Amino acid sequence: MIPPSFEYHAPRTVSDAIALLTSLGSEAKLLAGGHSLLPMMKLRFAQPEHLIDINRIPELKGIRLEGDELVIGAMTSETELINST
């Protein structure tokens, strides 16, 4: 089944994503991996008017040291974790 139409947004920063979520409210859903949301949309169990794709936000990816803390971004893949040194 084809999902209903929606408006696609691809913010480049966390603050832009938050601004979109704030302005669009409950009509928007975050798209990260899509493993849950896209099948739900195809079955029309989820019908958001707006999709906010957070895959292109560099702040959410990667593994880095910040001072004494190890920071693992929320969008860091399992492969990146396995291959990190």
Q: Tens of pLDDT along 17-41?
A: 999 999 999 999 999 988 899 899 9
Task: Count Cβ neighbours within 10 Å for each residue of 20-34 and write b for 16 or more, e otherwise.
Answer: bbeebeeebbebeee
Q: Which residues pair with residue 77 across a beta bridge?
A: none
> Please, are residues 4 and 51 in contact by the beta-carbon 8 Å criterion?
no
> Please, are residues 52 and 9 in contact by the beta-carbon 8 Å criterion?
yes
* The amino acid at 82: I
pTM: 0.82
With cut-offs at 50, 70 and 90, classify the pLDDT of residue 4: confident
CATH 3.20.20.70 fits domain 7-83: no
Task: Report the pLDDT value the prediction gives residue 67, as an integer from 0 to 100.
Answer: 96
